[in-house]
Chain A
């Protein structure tokens, strides 16, 4: 038998109450904006290290945002980007999870398909963007296809791994409870692979967001990437920063939402994580 060994007292910083931690984190963000504002102001009025137009302050960016909302441009661009991301991501999710499940169940298919994907994987998806424009035109199709392609890989890989590395003991347990092959897949393999699949979907979604901007740089007349690229043409630095900030905020929000969904779906893991 083993008496449980007393755990060493946690370091002082780990005992900080939750509220204090949250406060500290807010201060960090406030500090970021403060440094930015001070630097931009100082550069414009005292230091004059470079042309002030290159470094607008946070307030300039904010007012640019207000202008763009009033003209309706920002909403239109957000909607355009989001619709592409969602469509591309959905295609990637269906293809990645579907193929991952099929391939994960068969050694033959795995050896047939996986090497093919391993060849493509190290090539940055961006390298294929010009080609996709040639294939699918400059309309929506090329951007959706590009996103789908980029997001496919993490989703496929994590699904495949999840399906493949199911604890064999659980399979034994289920079959000694009367489960058939079909039952095993539905009631053991699938739920066991779920954490992996959800992680893959989250990574895939993040990647979709990552690549949409580049796709909209190349060929688009709407979207947040277009907003930034268009601003570059007209030397509107505030608008460029605004585009970047909006992408950041949307990406952050979606990642949070997906993590909440993950925590909800995988609540059985909760105590094993803390």
Chain B
């Protein structure tokens, strides 16, 4: 099934996440995912791309441990996922910050759960806030932060646990276009510094091609994998670069086919 193992990097790195014949049928009989197989190498940046209803978020939630597959299994480091874990950090579209905790207290949450001492975890949290560019905003409450800042805090919070996997569910979907592009660049900068296996769900083709090593284009009805595309363009990528534009057009066509299957939307 590994149709995408042409990149030299992928052949030397080991598989971090393995999705094995995973299906998900909801109680109402709706099949969200049907027999999905996918291997994600360690420290890779993968985007799950597709229209709403292709099961990309469902797949992400199963890697996170929030949902269980009806059939098949999800393996992380060869062990089946059971429940959420601090080793799989999650960033949500709606930020999901604790509104009663300041920015730095939000980032401290994971270390606090691990019983790290007060001073140590504060220092750690401040370092991560600095990494995401929020130095000076540490004592603000989420209600005092802009959407982009909230998502920076959420990213710092997930990173502060030093997870080996970072799962992101349309993290920039609620942000305006400018903030979104800035955060995409920030994301790559952070990923360079703190290498993780990133699984990033999006319905934005441009976002997927800008960020990912590989883009998993998902099919609808039922949700499954349509194509896996390796993006070999060097970073930093330029959206007006002819190669980028050509790839974008090609992926757009693929996604369009899936959207058309949904009928009138």
Bound Cα distance A194, B99 (Å) = 12
Given contacts A1-B176, A271-B141, contact A177 B99 (CB under 8 A): no
Bound Cα distance A183, B99 (Å) = 17
CB distance from A182 to the nearest CB of B (A): 10
Interface centre among B84, B90, B142 (most CB of A within 10 A): B84
User: Binary interface profile of A, 151-193, with partner B (CB < 8 Å = 1, else 0)?
Assistant: 0000000000000000101101111111110010001100110
Which of B106-114, B192-200, B233-241, B245-253 lies at the binding interface? Answer: B106-114
Q: Interface size for chain A: under 10, 10 to 19, 20 to 34, or 35 or more residues?
A: 20 to 34
Bound Cα distance A14, B84 (Å) = 49
- Interface residue? A107 (CB, 8 A): no
Asked whether, in the complex, the Cβ of A176 is within 8 Å of the Cβ of B90, the reply is yes
Contact of A179 among B94, B102, B113 (CB under 8 A): B113
Asked whether, in the complex, the Cβ of A268 is within 8 Å of the Cβ of B99, the reply is yes
B175 — nearest CB in chain A belongs to which residue? A1
In the bound complex, residues from chain A placing their C-beta under 8 Å from that of B157 are: 177
- Interface residue? A2 (CB, 8 A): yes
A42-73: which have CB < 8 Å to B?
none
User: Binary interface profile of B, 94-132, with partner A (CB < 8 Å = 1, else 0)?
Assistant: 101111111000000110111000000000000000000
Bound Cα distance A178, B87 (Å) = 8
Asked whether, in the complex, the Cβ of B86 is within 8 Å of the Cβ of A178, the reply is yes
A-B contact pairs, 5 of them (CB 8 A): A172-B92, A173-B98, A174-B98, A268-B101, A271-B141
Taking A176-B64, A194-B100, A271-B144 as known contacts, 7 extra A-B pairs with beta carbons closer than 8 A to each other, sorted by chain A number, are A177-B158, A178-B110, A187-B109, A187-B112, A268-B141, A269-B99, A272-B99
Residues on A facing B (Cβ under 8 Å): 1-2, 167, 169-170, 172-180, 183, 187-188, 191-192, 194, 266-272
